Amino acid sequence: MKAYLNNKIFHTISRIADENDKACYVIGGYVRDLFLKRHSTDIDVVVVGSGIEMAGKLAAELGKTAKLSIFKNFGTAHIKYKDYEIEFVGARKESYRYDSRKPIVEDGTLEDDQNRRDFTINALALSLNKASYGELLDPFNGVEDLKNFIVRTPLDPDITFSDDPLRMMRGIRFSSQLGFYLETETFDAIIRNKERISIISKERIADELNKIILSRRPSVGFILLEKTGLLALIFPELEALKGVETQSGISHKDNFYHTLEVLDSLSETSDNLWLRWATLLHDIGKPRSKQFDYKLGWTFHNHDFIGQKMIPGIFKRMKLPLNEKMRYVQKIVSLHMRPMMLTEEGVTDSAIRRLLFDAGDDIDDLMLLCEADITSKNEEKVKRFKANFQLVREKLKEIEEKDRIRNFQPPIDGKEIMDTFNLPACALVGELKIKLKDAVLDGIIPNEYEAAKAYLHEIAKEVLKGSAYEIKE
C-alpha cells in the first residue's frame, strides 16, 4: 500500500536521503493524520543513522528561512520552515528504569523504532527513499485500527504504560481528539497502571489536559480519565463534583456530568483555552458549598466565590500560568451566576451597568459560558432562559452604546479630588471615588465630566462633614 506524499519538502528529504545512502521515513502523527484526512504541519522523520546529520543537510538546502535547532543529548534536531515543524531522529530502541520515564536509548532499526511507539495508529511509517517512495510500513495493523476507530498499544500495554505513564493520558487524549475508542486491554491496563502517573511532571500532565480541553468533545477525555481512576489522582477537585446525593427524596444533579455537558456546549462556540478552563471550573466550588435545607432543598450558596478562591491553588499545583490567564479564569468563574440572576430578578439598567463594569472586555466570553450552562431537560425552561439571555444581550448592547461603561473609569480621578478639596491621600478620597462610580453605575448621573464634577461637590459636603476637611458654608 502506498500513500500520496505530494509535499515538496518530502521530495527534498528523499533526494538528500538517497544521496547520503540513508533509509528515511516519515512516521507517527503526520502519517496518521494523512490517512484520516486531517491537516497537519508537524512532521516526524526517522533516519536509520544520524537524524541530526540529515537535518543539517536539509536546513542547508532550504536556506535562511529554515531555523535549525539541534539537541545532541537526545539525538534529535528540529527545523522550523514556513508553517512546518520537522523533527529528525535516528532510529532507536529504548529501555526504561522503573522510577523514570526517560529511556535508555540505543541505535536501532526502523522496526525497533516502531516497537517503541505509544499506539498502533502512531507507528505507521511511509518510506521517503525513491525506490519505495510512499510505501507503507504497518507492522501492527494501525490502518485497520484507524478504520475501526481504535486506540491500542503496539506491544503489551502494561509494559507500554509502565515504561512511560504519560502514554496513558496520551491515549485518552487521542480518544478525545479523534473520537476513537480505547481498546479493552489498553483501557484495563491504564486502570492497572494509573498510580504510575505520579512519576510524570505536572507540566506534562497539564499539557495533555490542555489538549483534551481543546478537543472537539472534551467530555470524552474527562469521562475516560474518571473511569480509569486517573482523574482522582491528577484532578481531585473535579472528581469531587461526581455523584448524586439524596435527602428526603430530593436529589441534586451530578455536577461532574453537568460540567462536562456545559464544556461540550461551550466548545461548539469558542476555542479559547482559558474560557474552556473557566467552564470546566465554573462549579468547582459546589462540593464545598453544598447544603441541604428542608424548605429550599439542595443549595450551593457562594459556590462562585468559593470556586474563584480555589483556582490559584489548582493552577499552582498543576503548574498552569499564575498570571493574567489565571485571573481571567477567576473572573469568569466569579461572575458566571450574574447573568442568570439578571434573567430571574429582572434586567434593570443599573444591574446591566454593574455587570458591564465588572466583566469589562470579557463580557462576551461570560455570556457564552452562561448560555452553555443552560442544560435543563425541560424544553420550555430552556426556551425561556434563552429568550431572557437574548434580552440581557440586547440590554448590554444598548447600555454600552449609551453609557460607555465597559472598562470605564470615573470621569474624575483621585488626584483631582485631592486638589479640589485640599485632601491628602486618605480614606475620604476613596469614599468619594466609590460614590462617584456608584452614581454612574446606578444611572444617577451620566458618564460625563461636568455631571460628575457637579455631583462630586454635592456629595463632598456630606462625606467630609465632621472631618478636618469639612466644607464650611
Distances (CA, A) of 372 to 265, 270, 386, 392: 5, 11, 10, 15
Using DSSP, state whether 71 is helix, strand or coil. strand
Among the listed ranges 166-170, 226-230, 460-464, which one has the minimum average pLDDT value? 460-464
CB 50 within 8 A of CB 77: no
pLDDT above 70 coverage of the chain, percent? 93
Q: Check residue 467 and give its pLDDT.
A: 82
pLDDT at residue 105 tops 60? no
Cα within 13 Å of Cα(434), Cβ side: 6
Instruction: Report whether pLDDT(107) > 90.
Output: no
For residues 45-69, average pLDDT:
90
User: Is the confidence at residue 101, as pLDDT, over 60?
Assistant: no
Q: What is the pLDDT of residue 93?
A: 67
Mean of the per-residue pLDDT values for the chain? 88
From 175-189, 225-239, 329-343, the region with the lowest mean pLDDT: 329-343
The residue among 70 and 98 whose pLDDT is bigger is 70
444 has pLDDT over 90 = no
CA distance 79 to 66: 6
- Residue 320 is predicted with a pLDDT of 97
pLDDT at 201: 94
Q: Does domain 149-234 have CATH number 1.10.110.30?
A: yes
Predicted TM-score of the model (pTM): 0.85
Predicted pLDDT at 428: 86
CA 96 – CA 199 distance, rounded (Å): 13
Given a cut of 90, whether residue 380 has pLDDT beyond it is: no
Give the phi and the psi of residue 243 in degrees, each rounded to 5: 110, 160
Is pLDDT of 72 > 80? yes
Across 84-107, average pLDDT: 71
pLDDT-above-90 percentage for the chain: 55
Which residue did the predictor score with more confidence, 68 or 443?
68
The HSE-up count of residue 79 (CA atoms within 13 Å, CB side) is: 27
Q: Which pLDDT belongs to residue 175?
A: 96
Which spans in 404-448 are helix H?
414-421, 427-441
Average pLDDT over every residue of 254-265: 95
pLDDT at residue number 344: 63
Q: Is 63 exposed, middle or buried (0-12, 13-18, 19+ CB in 10 A)?
A: exposed
Q: What is the mean pLDDT of residues 17-39?
A: 93
pLDDT given at position 75: 83
Q: Which CATH number fits domain 8-145: 3.30.460.10, 3.40.640.10, 3.10.20.600, 3.40.50.410?
A: 3.30.460.10
Segment 143-152 shows an average pLDDT of 96
HSE, CB side, 13 Å, CA atoms: give it for residue 295.
0
Q: What is the pLDDT of residue 158?
A: 94
Condensed to tens digits (0 to 9), the pLDDT of residues 339-371 reads: 887 766 666 778 888 888 888 889 999 999 999
Using the CB atoms, write b or e for 192-229: b if 16+ within 10 Å.
Answer: ebbebbeebeeebbbebbbbbbbbebbbbbbbbbbebb
Across 220-236, average pLDDT: 98
Say yes or no to pLDDT of 87 above 90. Answer: yes
Spatial separation of the C-alpha atoms in residues 361 and 58, rounded to whole Å: 46
Domain ranges in the chain with CATH number 3.30.460.10: 8-145
pLDDT of residue 98: 62
* 231, pLDDT greater than 80: yes
What number is the average pLDDT over the span 209-226? 97
